[in-house]
Structure 1
Amino acid sequence: MRKFTFKAAALVVALGTMSAASAAINLHGEAGEEYTNLSASFGANEPGLTFNGNWAHSDNDGDVAGLGMGINMPLGPVLFTLGGKALYLNPKSSDEGYAVAVGGGAQVPLGDFITVFGEYYYSPDSLSSGVDDYVEANAGVRLRVIKSMYVEAGYRYIDMAGKDGHRDNTLADGGYAGFNFTF
């Protein structure tokens, strides 16, 4: 039984590595009124496994850093993503901790140059420490400038609900402008 479990785990890791090795790399940056978000992803716009990492910062409310994994599934022109993130939380007015958030999103191309997208991730108190819950959501529109460069505008919300009498730390709650480079 252990040999089977080890072989199955090795197969999943190997498939994930091959998928990430052949996938496009996206570098993303965005700035809102009071926050910054930087990320990198592998395979974010293609069917199959996708991997990502990000760092969000607010001078007023703290930092969040995360690593995520998901699976992209096309349904007609729409690309749906289901996945999860392991997050390090460093709220300004509470104890640092972690969260394991689950969620997903969708991307809908509107022709060759415009894509609308949205995503939502949530971690309840039972999957987080230092906060009551963690919520991350964003929606926007992406415009292709050249083959490997996109500009985007959207709305992002990132909140770490206070626990044990600490205040909520809302890292992002508003519009942003951003860019994507694809390699």
Structure 2
Amino acid sequence: MIALTGLLVASGQALAIGGSLEQGKNFTNLNVDMGKSTGGIYVEGNWTWDTDDGGEYGGAGVGYNFDLGPVMLNAGAKAVYLNPKKGDDGMAFPVGGGFKVDLPMNFAIYGEGYVAPDSMTNSVKNYTEADGGISWSPISLVTLKAGYRYAGVDGKSGHPKHNIVDGAYLGAGVTF
């Protein structure tokens, strides 16, 4: 991760650093990123935990943003630590992508999804995560969000399919 950050800095590309907090009824998500709001390479990390039963997951990812005017598309990969509290602790290496569409009055819609089949995990049959919603930036440094987040696994060794987090959230973030 440090080497990748050094590579990003050495590339001469101005990268914004951001952070956000999302709170759902039964979960909290913390996210940090560098370069996620502009075209080009980005890195990000997050930690999400279920405040109801203690399940959690978190990881780091890298990807590329394709800035197409009011539309930004991205593709990336992550390394995710899983601790769903049902005996499936381990790692998953999902790939996926997302989009953001700018709307009038500083609103935007966004979504992303990642998946890791059995061959890209060491503890579950598969891992899936998705996030989507609407955001508003009243000033350029601040973003307010309302969305829906899901992360779930199909367990191995007699552990059934289960959700780590699943629900609506409100969030806020800053970008420098």
TM-score, normalised to structure 2, is 0.91
The Cα offsets for residues 2-56 of structure 1, whole Å up to 9 and x where unpaired, read as xxxxxxxx9x876433359731111011011111110100011100000000001
Superposed counterparts of 1:133-152, under 5 Å: 133-152=126-145
3-state SS in 2 of match to 1:17: helix
Q: Does 1:90 align with 2:83?
A: yes
Per the alignment, residue 57 of structure 1 pairs with: 49
Give me the identity figure in percent: 40
Given that 1:108 and 1:116 are in contact with CA atoms closer than 8 Å, whether structure 2 keeps it comes out as yes
Per the alignment, residue 26 of structure 1 pairs with: 18
| Gaps in structure 2 of 5+ consecutive residues | none
3-state SS in 2 of match to 1:44: coil
The Cα offsets for residues 107-132 of structure 1, whole Å up to 9 and x where unpaired, read as 10002410110000000011001111
Matching residue's letter, 1:54: N
| Gaps in structure 1 of 5+ consecutive residues | 1-9
| Larger Rg computed on CA atoms | 1
3-state SS in 2 of match to 1:94: coil
Given that 1:20 and 1:43 are in contact with CA atoms closer than 8 Å, whether structure 2 keeps it comes out as no
Per the alignment, residue 176 of structure 1 pairs with: 169
Q: Does 1:17 align with 2:6?
A: no
The Cα offsets for residues 113-159 of structure 1, whole Å up to 9 and x where unpaired, read as 10110000000011001111110101101111222111100111111
Per the alignment, residue 7 of structure 1 pairs with: none
Judged with a 3 Å threshold, the aligned counterparts in structure 2 of structure 1 residues 35 and 78 are, in CA distance, closer, same or farther, namely: same
Given that 1:141 and 1:154 are in contact with CA atoms closer than 8 Å, whether structure 2 keeps it comes out as yes
Give 1:75 deviation, angstroms.
Answer: 2.3
CA RMSD, Structure 1 to Structure 2 (Å):
1.9
3-state SS in 1 of match to 2:104: coil
Given that 1:92 and 1:169 are in contact with CA atoms closer than 8 Å, whether structure 2 keeps it comes out as no
Q: Does 1:127 align with 2:127?
A: no
TM-score, normalised to structure 1, is 0.87
Superposed counterparts of 1:96-107, under 5 Å: 96-107=89-100
Higher helix share: 1
